[in-house]
Amino acid sequence: MTTCFDIGGSFIRHGELQADGTVAEKGRVATPGSDWQAFVDAIADCSGPDGSPISISLAGAFDTRSGIADVANIPCLHKRPVQSDLETALKRPVAITNDANAFALAEAVDGTGRGKPVVFGIILGSGVGGGLVVNGTLVTGYGGIAGEWGHGPIMDPTAGGQLKGIEHYPCGCGQTGCIDAICSARGMEKIHRSLHGLDLASKDITAAWHAGDAAATQTLDAFTTLLSRALSAFVNTLGPDVIPVSGGLSNDLVLLDVIDRKTRDLVLADYSEPLVIKGEFAANGGLHGAGIVARTLMKEAAR
């Protein structure tokens, strides 16, 4: 029996890998954020029999050379070699995948990218992330960074001189002007504050936009322009067949449609079908992707 986990800053979701490759969700528990032993105990409580393997999707980045995790929202895992420390503590095989990579794998193997060569799965939520799958195989790249288009200070917050008043926002990675800091839900809120002096949650800003509010319309125009300009460079670099989206903003299909049209207008290839679309696994890509990783490892072990 293999247990799969989707671990975020608030909750640990867990389920059992089925013979047909799906993951049957069993439940969720609160994530012990700052207590390593409590975290280990929580995983052990949800796992199968002693020694049975587990596969984890984790909201965080990993250096594939050192194994050190960067998990700012779960302090007890931050700067720790999580995979090897968990194997030692739990005495069972542990596979760990970054959540954006797990979502991209789920889409490429069983979702919107099924049968397509290049799938660039992106997360548009409280932050911006992504994962790249080519011919069904996850591309991790040097140090495990492949697909992480959210960082690197390339943004022009004036959107080519059309906008005044948007600052270069500092990013959680320590740089200023990253895509993550301006094209995420938190970024949308910062743009709204910069342009209009209003503190609103992203869901309230998009609701006002849908209702025709002029201020929100300007914010959303800036947000989608900045996002599609950045995304278009990655489309030209990667040549994706599809860009499935996960994260909180993926639930707004009208917003995704605007991002899709603006992005396709800017890229070199002529995409006749929508490119930026909601992922089939937008809600459970972590668990499903962890299941795919477990399936792949089992196949390799059986060879």
- What's the min distance (Å) between Cβ of 188 and Zn ion? 16
Specify the residue, 43 or 71, whose C-beta has the smaller distance to Zn ion. 71
Nearest to 237 by CA among 137, 141, 106, 101: 141
Q: Which of 173, 207, 266, 297 binds Zn ion (CB under 5 A)?
A: 173
Specify the residue, 40 or 145, whose C-beta has the smaller distance to Zn ion. 145
Specify the residue, 180 or 252, whose C-beta has the smaller distance to Zn ion. 180
x-marked contacts with Zn ion along 151-170 as a string, rule CB under 5 A:
x-------------------
Q: Which residues contact 32 (CB under 8 A, 6 or more apart)?
A: 38, 39, 41, 42, 76
In the block, tokens 């990675």 appear at: 173
Task: Restricting to residues 174-193, name those near Zn ion by CB under 5 A.
Answer: 175, 178, 180
Q: Is 96 exposed, middle or buried (0-12, 13-18, 19+ CB in 10 A)?
A: buried
Specify the residue, 150 or 285, whose C-beta has the smaller distance to Zn ion. 150
Interaction of residue 171 with Zn ion, rule CB under 5 A: yes
Interaction of residue 123 with Zn ion, rule CB under 5 A: no
Calculate the CA 210 to chain-centre distance: 25
Torsion sign across C-alpha atoms 182, 276, 11, 6: negative
First to last CA, the chain: 19
Specify the residue, 22 or 175, whose C-beta has the smaller distance to Zn ion. 175
In the complex, which residues of this chain contact Zn ion (CB under 5 A)? 151, 171, 173, 175, 178, 180
